[in-house]
Structure 1
């Protein structure tokens, strides 16, 4: 694969053993469900670390995603194309999973593009290695089920978000659920994710920030 292809290129180009101090898959799974030390050693032995530079792509639409990733460092977004318009479907950061979920589990071409919004470091595991781990260690199936429950809840929240009719309600919901991303993500991506124009988002932010600034001045 040549560098011009980008998607999955950086996974193979930068792939290394997981460095000491990084989040291991076993630690992530144990947050959801207890697993044996033997299962932990097996799944950790299959993991690797890779890096994706800012603005580059982890995955391109049309590619099949053979990996599931845990974000160790950085910020990523998924988006689809509606004609020539990029529609941001999700934004996520450290300690969360990243993949084209339907592509990964079905091993079928992805509809999504996955782009790094900051220099990113990821812990990855191959689909075949994960399936092997499930077969060898039944407790990993229970842990994975609980992870999927969280992912389903997140998907439900995104579905709820886009059905809010007022732009102000969608932005308020994003503020409440993703406060740590407000100052890390470009406004154009937040606007796309919330289904509004950049101008509408800027106006909303201005209407919120202006009273706060005035209140601060009065206290001074």
Structure 2
């Protein structure tokens, strides 16, 4: 499966070189990407659009595709006793997938939802692995991206271990300030592991302190 047609905006097409540029720039930050890899991506990456509120992945499905966000915000969440728990947030120039499901090609317990209209680039699991085999240097890119996302996962785990709500929110502002005014407070509270009421109180305190400075 090359690309899921997610809504009426979508068209199954390869990106132009200009449309691929943001992805190439991101990859080159980790390790130089040669012309061969660039041409492979032009032939095997597809463009996808998804409307706000729609799903890329649902609990019980297999994550067949890896996504690069050109525009918009995605969130990952799980459900527990009819409660949604936001596990991660991703925005422009970041990768997204149900990573365990994608790597193992097994059913996921995760959901991935667009919380803004999104423009994405996507590559299929099998095409990604063919690229690793055809271009061994791309394994370095894959390793460094995996390391980066492991560090991000550790940061998220650190937030959940904090008991102080103000410290949680301060940490969020330090590392996710670019999302502070783009993501619904309900999702931010869930991500931090606090109630919406507690988050509102913490935000009010933070705002008051800034005014007094």
**Which whole-Å CA distance do the structure 2 matches of 1:96 and 1:88 have between them?**
17
For residue 6 of structure 2, the aligned residue among 10, 21, 24 is: 10
Instruction: Supply the distance in 2 between the matched residues of 1:59 and 1:70 (Cα, whole angstroms).
Output: 15
**Structure whose alpha-carbon radius of gyration is higher:** 1
Residue equivalent to 1:22: 19
Aligned residues: 208
1:202 aligns with 200
Offset of residue 42 of structure 1: 1.2
Contact 1:43 1:130 in 2 (8 A): no
Does structure 1 residue 61 correspond to structure 2 residue 59?
A: yes
> TM-score, normalised to structure 2's length?
0.92
Q: TM-score, normalization: structure 1?
A: 0.89
Aligned match of 1:71: 69
Provide the C-alpha distance between the structure 1 equivalents of 2:186 and 2:16, rounded to a whole number of angstroms.
Answer: 34
Structure 1 residues 11 and 67, CA gap change in structure 2 (3 angstroms): farther
- From 137, 140, 152, the counterpart of 1:139: 137
Alignment of 1:1-220 (within 5 A): 8=4, 10=6, 14-24=11-21, 25-214=23-212
Structure 1, unaligned stretches of length 5 or more? 1-7, 216-220
Query: Please, which moves more after superposition, 84-93 or 30-39?
Result: 30-39
Q: Provide the aligned C-alpha RMSD in A.
A: 1.7
**Superposition deviation, residue 15 in structure 1:** 2.7
When structure 1 is superposed on structure 2, of 28-37 and 196-205 the one drifting more is 28-37
Structure 2 residues without counterparts, runs of 5 or longer: none
Q: Name the CA distance, whole Å, in 2 between partners of 1:30 and 1:151.
A: 16
List structure 1 runs of 4+ shifted beyond 3 angstroms.
Answer: 11-14, 23-27
